[in-house]
């Protein structure tokens, strides 16, 4: 199982991981924002280990071949070898792109993820999915390659704004829906307006465990790992449409709206209890609002869903639920079902 460390002292964890890694050179990949705001938290590490920084532009718009090539180029120019180690310090964009750069440079160098957002801690940094966007499709190019360790420093969580906390929490809510009624009911009672970090921190560890256990059973997504796509078939389509229109938006918001659509379809197609669906939808809408879509967008959203890499044979595949924790992968809603689910989201 992947080595995931939840700590309040990333420096000492990284120091000992680097010492035992046997690497000849250590690189740290940041985006401009994490370089500005997060590097200081690792100041003591720089005092003891020689680290070369590589800085890339922030945001999903830079998760592309140009940025990837700039990382390969920096590694090459600064003398990285096959025994070098890269620390990917940032949100999901940095851990996805950095992991892919590391996985492909000289056929693969080791990397350690240091997620700085809640979203990256509970999802992106864990489980070995790496990649970049391509041709306006999200995460279109990539490989499975697990970070040799994931170091989650809870100090980063205190620095997050409300939107970033909400964004990560959407993936936590997804993990709760995949797990148990008890976990779900604690999540939909969590106050996102005034988050209590003493309550949140153990929930983060619990959420990482859910993902880690699923990934350990199906690392390359042949079956069970598709459970983690709950909310993402609809969510990715809405996110890709927003990206095409240069609208900003955090991933977790699209996942939360995707959960609304997919829980609605779970009720219609899998007899998921409507009371549970309504409570979850109410929680999501009151904390995440609604997406900026109209019925004129449905055809384009449907087309984007058809191009999702989770599909094969030209049919749309979704993960649905028959109950909390009762997972139904490879479900194929019709075009009418899908339009109805978008109507439900807009009118709920
Ligand atoms: N984000 C879903 C997965 O890692 O499989």
pLDDT in tens, 8-25: 999 999 999 999 999 999
Over range 104-128, report the average pLDDT: 97
Domains of the chain by start residue, with CATH:
4-159 (3.40.50.1970), 162-347 (1.20.1090.10)
Alpha-carbon distance of 279 to 56, in angstroms, equals 41
Report CA(129)–ligand 1 centroid distance (Å). 7
Across the chain, mean pLDDT equals 95
- For residue 312, what pLDDT is reported? 75
Q: Which of 97-101, 260-264, 309-313 has the lowest mean pLDDT?
A: 309-313
- For residue 313, what pLDDT is reported? 74
Over range 47-74, report the average pLDDT: 95
- For residue 69, what pLDDT is reported? 98
- For residue 314, what pLDDT is reported? 79
Instruction: Answer whether 31 contacts ligand 1 (Cβ < 6 A).
Output: no
Which of residues 242 and 310 earns the better pLDDT score? 242
pLDDT over 90 at 244, yes or no: no
Which residue reads 């459970």 in tokens?
227
Number of Cβ within 10 Å of residue 44's Cβ equals: 14
Instruction: Answer whether 171 contacts ligand 1 (Cβ < 6 A).
Output: no
**In contact, 16 and 7? CB cutoff 8 Å:** no
Report which of 338, 343, 334, 248 is spatially closest to residue 294, judged by C-alpha positions. 343
Alpha-carbon distance of 185 to 176, in angstroms, equals 8
Instruction: Compute φ and ψ for 82, nearest 5 degrees.
Output: -65, -20
For the CA atoms of 284, 263, 137, 85, the dihedral, rounded to the nearest 10 degrees, stands at 70
Alpha-carbon distance of 70 to 217, in angstroms, equals 35
Report CA(100)–ligand 1 centroid distance (Å). 15
As a whole-number percent, the residues of the chain with pLDDT over 90 amount to: 88
List CB contacts of 213: < 8 A, sequence separation 6 or more: none
- For residue 60, what pLDDT is reported? 86
- For residue 264, what pLDDT is reported? 98
6: confidence class by pLDDT, cuts 50, 70, 90: very high
Give the 3-state secondary structure of residue 37.
helix
Instruction: Answer whether 228 contacts ligand 1 (Cβ < 6 A).
Output: yes
- For residue 80, what pLDDT is reported? 98
- For residue 310, what pLDDT is reported? 77
Report CA(314)–ligand 1 centroid distance (Å). 22
Report which of 286, 50, 94 is spatially closest to residue 102, judged by C-alpha positions. 94
Alpha-carbon distance of 147 to 86, in angstroms, equals 10
- Protein residue with its CA nearest to atom 2 in ligand 1: 228
- For residue 307, what pLDDT is reported? 82
Report CA(71)–ligand 1 centroid distance (Å). 24
244 DSSP 8-state letter: H
Instruction: Answer whether 129 contacts ligand 1 (Cβ < 6 A).
Output: yes
Alpha-carbon distance of 153 to 265, in angstroms, equals 37
Report which of 17, 279, 335, 329 is spatially closest to residue 148, judged by C-alpha positions. 17
**pTM (2 d.p.):** 0.94
Report which of 14, 247, 283 is spatially closest to residue 173, judged by C-alpha positions. 283
- For residue 135, what pLDDT is reported? 87
Report CA(230)–ligand 1 centroid distance (Å). 10
Tokens, residue 30: 């940041």
Report CA(126)–ligand 1 centroid distance (Å). 8
Report which of 213, 212, 253 is spatially closest to residue 236, judged by C-alpha positions. 253
Alpha-carbon distance of 6 to 310, in angstroms, equals 30
- For residue 234, what pLDDT is reported? 97
Instruction: Answer whether 127 contacts ligand 1 (Cβ < 6 A).
Output: yes
- For residue 30, what pLDDT is reported? 98
Ligand 1 atom index nearest CA of 221: 5
pLDDT tens for 136-191 read 788 889 999 999 999 999 999 988 899 999 999 999 999 999 999 999 999 999 99
Give the 3-state secondary structure of residue 59.
coil
261: confidence class by pLDDT, cuts 50, 70, 90: very high
Over range 211-222, report the average pLDDT: 96
Ligand 1 atom index nearest CA of 214: 5
Alpha-carbon distance of 295 to 326, in angstroms, equals 31
Report which of 98, 79, 77, 81 is spatially closest to residue 89, judged by C-alpha positions. 98
């Amino acid at each position: 199982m992947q080595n995931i460390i939840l700590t309040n002292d990333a420096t000492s964890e990284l120091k000992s991981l680097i010492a035992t890694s046997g690497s000849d050179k250590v690189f740290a990949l940041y985006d401009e924002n994490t370089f500005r705001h997060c590097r200081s938290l690792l100041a003591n590490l720089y005092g003891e280990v020689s680290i070369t920084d590589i800085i890339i532009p922030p945001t999903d718009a830079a998760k592309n071949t140009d940025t990837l090539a700039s990382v390969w180029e920096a590694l090459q120019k600064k003398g990285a070898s096959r025994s070098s180690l890269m620390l990917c310090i940032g949100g999901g964009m940095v851990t996805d792109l950095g992991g892919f750069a590391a996985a492909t440079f000289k056929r693969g160098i080791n990397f350690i993820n240091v997620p700085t957002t809640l979203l990256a801690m509970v999802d992106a940094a864990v489980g070995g999915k790496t990649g970049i966007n391509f041709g306006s499709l999200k995460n279109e190019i990539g490989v499975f390659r697990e970070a040799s360790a994931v170091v989650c420093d809870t100090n980063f969580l205190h620095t997050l704004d409300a939107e970033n906390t909400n964004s990560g929490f959407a993936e936590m809510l997804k993990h709760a829906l995949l797990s148990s009624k008890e976990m779900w009911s604690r999540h939909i009672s969590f106050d996102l307006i005034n988050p209590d970090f003493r309550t949140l921190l153990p929930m983060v560890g619990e959420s990482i465990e859910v993902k880690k256990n699923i990934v350990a059973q199906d690392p390359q997504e042949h079956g069970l790992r598709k459970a983690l796509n709950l909310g993402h078939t609809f969510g990715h389509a809405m996110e890709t449409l927003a990206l095409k229109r240069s609208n900003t938006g955090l991933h977790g918001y699209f996942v939360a709206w995707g959960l609304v659509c997919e829980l609605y379809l779970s009720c219609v197609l899998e007899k998921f209890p409507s009371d549970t669906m309504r409570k979850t939808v109410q929680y999501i809408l009151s904390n995440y609002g609604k997406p900026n879509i109209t019925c004129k967008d449905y055809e384009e959203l449907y087309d984007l869903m058809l191009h999702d890499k989770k599909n094969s044979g030209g049919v749309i595949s979704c993960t649905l639920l028959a109950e909390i924790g009762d997972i139904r992968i490879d479900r194929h809603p019709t075009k009418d079902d899908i339009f109805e689910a978008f109507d439900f989201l807009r009118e709920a």
